[in-house]
Amino acid sequence: MARALPPETSGDEGCPAMAGLAALPVFLNLNGRRVALVGGSSAALWKAELAHAAGADVDVYSAEPCAGLVELARVRPRVRLVRRAFQADDLNGAALAIGDIEGAAEAAEFRAAAQAFGALANIIDKPALSDFQFGAIVDRSPLVVAISTDGASPILAQAVRGRIEAVLPAAIKLWAAAAKGWRESLKTLALAPRSRRRFWERFNARALAAGSAPPGEGLFTELLAEVERDPRGSEGSVALVGAGPGDSELLTLKALRMLQSADVVLYDDLVAPAIVDMARREAEKIAVGKRGYKPSCKQDHIVALMIELAGQGKRIVRLKGGDPMVFGRASEEIAALRGAGIPIEVVPGVTAALGAAASLQTSLTERATARRLQFVTAHAHDGKLPEDIDWRALCDPGASSVVYMGVRTLGALAERLLAHGADPATPALLVERATCPDERRIAGTIATLPAKAAAQAPSGPCLILIGAVFAAQADVDPAHRLAAAAE
């Protein structure tokens, strides 16, 4: 299957119409250009710093400059402070005219002067009188990201900036700088266009997964060797990635990066659609749910599919609910992929138990009363309660237990616990769809929970939480919770 081309090379069958772009983002090279700035406020100071940082010679006109502007002009030779009110011909020869101007008449006069001298104008907080706006900036120069809401909400722009900052690896600046240098070196090598693209694809994959590591000394030659060895890029890979219990905010940054560089995403039915949507737009998304009681053939099918796709050189993200290493049959997948010689990476996720603890605001351990924490599955190969559970451990009043896949066998589980001497009054809690907006809790004790749960017939994924630490939760009225969730 052909990999989708990046959007910039795919629009040649007619011009796709672009509807209503609020503003055209451009990245101005201000080296050696003059910027005229009118105003002495701290807002003007910030604009002076920005223009200076972008290479401009900045002339600031202000009869009463703030201390910061005075200091800036003192330490930056390219910032010149003119201590008087602005005159129209101050804008002569300026590429940009920026003003922090209160009065409407003065602002209009400033705008007219800018137009007369062919300078683009920005008047701070007066979008109607401005030719351009400053957006929020993520500065990893030479990589620069600018965000505009067309004046709708600077606070929203800041929030979006925060998101982007969070997903960019700390060292991306160094990678972008390296790319800038390597561009020229690569040109002199006269590589075939396909190989050149392959080089940058490999580079990008490394850069986005780099975290805080800078590009290594030998990386350029290493990537070249990789491309020469494998010009079509047949080196596929699989990442087993934890998607967390439901709330998409609980995804790790690494998981997000993996999703955004994947060619194919195979996802379980427990993974929320919002998380699958975070994958690269061009990635192929395949649901490989294995609900029900015949998971083995499905499992073989999933493994075979991963090996086939990796064999085609695809980067595969195998997205699993919670953490991939907890009741996720990861060992089988890892063994099969290793056997097929496919590189594997594992990215942890928040397992359901920890998501539930967070949403309950209940610590699973307590210094004196709950020194042990155990995760147990109550679902054997045949769908029944496993016979070989360590019942003494589960009955231990000094432990907190989290039972995965335990709804269908809850009655049998409670019976066995009581038969092994568990206190019937031990708090027991069922949490359905932990961390999701429709999370539901059913509170009781080992003795009462099975009947309560059966009466409410939960249909989503559920955990059974057992132990003294859940005592306070056992009193929570689930009807109250449901009402609160519905509000």
Summarize as ranges the residues that interact with ligand SAH (CB under 6 A). 245-246, 270, 320-323, 326-328, 351-352, 355, 404-405, 431, 433-436, 461-463
> Nearest approach, Cβ of 405 to ligand SAH (angstroms)?
4
Cβ proximity to ligand SAH: between 129 and 430 the closer is: 430
Of 352 and 443, which CB lies nearer to ligand SAH in the complex structure?
352
Cis omega (within 30 of 0) for bond into 142: yes
Dump the DSSP string for 302-330: HHHHHHHHHHTT-EEEEEESB-TTSSS-H
Cα dihedral angle (7, 9, 13, 17), rounded to 10 degrees?
40
* Cβ at position 269, least distance to ligand SAH in Å: 10
- In the complex with ligand SAH, the residue whose CB is nearer, 182 or 470, is 470
* Smallest distance from ligand SAH to CB 142, Å: 40
Nearer to ligand SAH, 129 or 403 (CB): 403
Alpha helices, H only, 122-252: 154-167, 172-188, 193-208, 219-229
Token output for 346: 């594992």
Examine the residue annotation and report whether 268 is marked as an active-site residue of this protein.
yes
Instruction: Single out the catalytic residue among 90, 268, 320, 323.
Output: 268
Task: Strands of 332-461 (E only): list them.
Answer: 344-347, 372-377, 399-404, 427-432, 440-445
Q: How far is the CB of 417 from ligand SAH (least distance, A)?
A: 17
| Cβ-based nearer residue to ligand SAH, 45 or 326 | 326
For 11, list phi and psi in degrees, rounded to 5. -100, 25
218-253 b/e with 16+ CB inside 10 Å = b?
A: ebbeebbeebeeeeebeebbbbbbbbbbbbbebbbe
Query: From the CB of 340, what's the least distance to ligand SAH, in Å?
Result: 23
**H or E element: which one contains 478?**
helix 478-486
| Alpha carbons 219 and 412: distance in angstroms, whole number | 58
Of residues 55 and 458, the one with the C-beta less far from ligand SAH:
458
Nearer to ligand SAH, 340 or 476 (CB): 476
- The single residue of 131, 173, 230, 290 carrying the catalytic annotation is 290
Length of the chain equals 487
Residue 173 annotated among the catalytic residues of the structure: no
Report the alpha-carbon distance of residue 276 to residue 268 in Å, rounded.
10
* Residue 298 Cβ vs ligand SAH, minimum distance, rounded to whole Å: 14
Q: What crossing angle do the helices spanning 219-229 and 172-188 adopt, rounded to 10°? A: 60
Residues 350, 249, 138, CA angle at the centre, nearest 5°? 125
Nearest to 219 by CA among 174, 262, 260: 174
Residue 202 or 379: which CB sits closer to ligand SAH? 379
Distance between CA 184 and CA 29 in Å, rounded?
Answer: 20
Query: Which residue is associated with the tokens 């967070």?
Result: 358
Q: How far is the CB of 350 from ligand SAH (least distance, A)?
A: 8
From the CB of 222, what's the least distance to ligand SAH, in Å?
Answer: 35
Asked whether 243 and 322 are in contact (CB, 8 A), the reply is: yes
Q: Which residues are known to be catalytic?
A: 268, 290
